Amino acid sequence: MSSFTPESNTAAGSPLLSVQGLCCERDGRQLFAGLTFCLNPGTAIQVVGANGAGKSTLIRTLIGSVSDFHGDISWRGRAFPRGVRSMRAELLYIGHNAGVRRGLTPLENLAWYGASEREACEALEAVGLFGFEDLLCQQLSAGQNRRVALARLYLPDPAPLWVLDEPLAALDVAGVQSLEARMEAHLSSGGSLLVTSHQPVHIQPLAQVDLADFQPPWGGTLDDARDFPLAASSVDREVRHG
């Protein structure tokens, strides 16, 4: 596996998302420190790490749902929190939980996002749910509900930035292959992707950010990171290409 520094990831042009020296904690425990990377148009980054390493916390921080952090985050050059609103207008986020309204049908769930019946049916067919569109989601399996959520990726005019937290969970082999093909198509059209997954993600191009490389060298809290900026910056590591 070849590697490159976070700074070299900006070579393709001005980054969409820039993260510099990010430090986060949860329940008084430092999760990671000195996290630095950029996400450019047409590129994908997979965040990896053990359970509890802070993958979901990082995702929620980057989409503006967590404001307690130390470091700099910017979207198209606009620093958070000012840049959050403009980023969300260009963001498609699917969390670890499917986020499907179980009292609605798959068609009704997609209509919530503005899809026409034809668009929703085509998206559901793309994820293998043809014939299930009029069943209540509470009648579907966990994997099928996951596919209902992922059908949003097949609607017209998708957002340029996809943030997907464990999108491969509860999918069978065919579902994983279909989703990987869709992610590659999104990248080839100039879109960008930030994904967490315990499973390998077979798409190109793909870089990795391993949170194990950004574990803080001290056992302190977020306040300690503010008090010791050199310690935080000293753990800047490489982002690895897949």
Three-state DSSP at 45 gives strand
What confidence tier does 239 reach under pLDDT thresholds 50, 70, 90? very low
- Segment 121-165, tens digit of pLDDT: 999 999 999 999 999 999 999 889 999 999 999 998 779 999 999
**Per this entry, what is the length of the chain?**
242
pLDDT on residue 241: 45
The whole-number average pLDDT for the span 234-240 is 40
Packing angle of the helix pair 142-150, 173-188 (nearest 10 deg)? 10
> Could you state, in order of their start, the residue ranges of all structural domains in the chain?
3-90+159-241, 99-158
What confidence tier does 217 reach under pLDDT thresholds 50, 70, 90? low
- Segment 58-95, tens digit of pLDDT: 999 999 998 889 999 999 999 998 899 999 999 999 99
What confidence tier does 97 reach under pLDDT thresholds 50, 70, 90? confident
Pair of tokens at residue 129? 């749910």
At 163, the amino acid letter reads: V
Instruction: Provide CATH code, domain 3-90+159-241.
Output: 3.40.50.300
- Segment 25-58, tens digit of pLDDT: 887 788 999 999 999 999 999 999 988 889 999 9
Q: Write out the E strands in 58-206.
A: 70-75, 78-79, 91-94, 161-165, 192-196
Number of H helices, E strands in the chain: 8, 11
Distance (Å, rounded) from C-alpha 56 to C-alpha 181?
A: 24
Three-state DSSP at 118 gives helix
* Residues 27, 30, 34, 38, CA torsion sign: negative
- Segment 155-200, tens digit of pLDDT: 987 799 999 999 988 888 988 999 999 999 999 999 999 999 988 9
